[in-house]
Amino acid sequence: MAKEPTSGTGSKSFSSNDNGFRTIERCHDMIQRSLRLPMVEFLREHLEKSGCYVGNNFIKAVNCEQKIAGGYLRGRGIIVCSNHMTFQDEVNQVVIHELIHAYDDCRAKNLDWKNCAHHACSEECIKRRVMQSLKCNPNCSGAAAKDAMDAVWDICYNDTKPFDRAP
């Protein structure tokens, strides 16, 4: 997992900053739009069915110091890094991706985000993206990240829960 980003404030009078990225307020609006997507509704429903409440404040827009798009923080929810978002589709993809992490964390009560194999297994992406995500985890060096991904790939790649098949 990435280090927790710092939250900041944005200007309500502008929709983006000087770099073209979204303010916290604009990103919050984009998150609200993403909550209406069928895939997001599906994931939230399955989180609740698994016993994990997803309230209105579960997904937050923040400014992030690290160069990450967002993250899932156990017990705190999902953050979307407004200062790294430009388009609605980027926000949609981050929300979906992090909801899958939240679902995995909910159903696997012993998931240890410091364990590179556990982290790798929660990634729903192709190997290149798994490696990118693991590199953000300070507990996973280059060799440990690759070893962890290789060790769990076959089992985890075929785990499509909560979906019946790979979306």
Neighbour tally for 151: CB within 10 Å: 14
In order, the DSSP letters of 21-85 are: PBPHHHHHHHHHHHTTSHHHHHHHHHHHHTT----TTSEEEE--SSS-SEEEETTTEEEEEGGG-
Give yes or no for a contact between 40 and 99, defined as CB atoms under 8 angstroms apart. yes
Q: Which one of the listed residues 4, 25, 98, 123 is annotated catalytic?
A: 98
Cα separation, 68 vs 139, in Å, equals: 17
Examine the residue annotation and report whether 98 is marked as an active-site residue of this protein.
yes
Q: Which two tokens stand for residue 112?
A: 């240890």
What are the start-end ranges of the E strands in 110-163?
none
Known catalytic residues?
Answer: 98
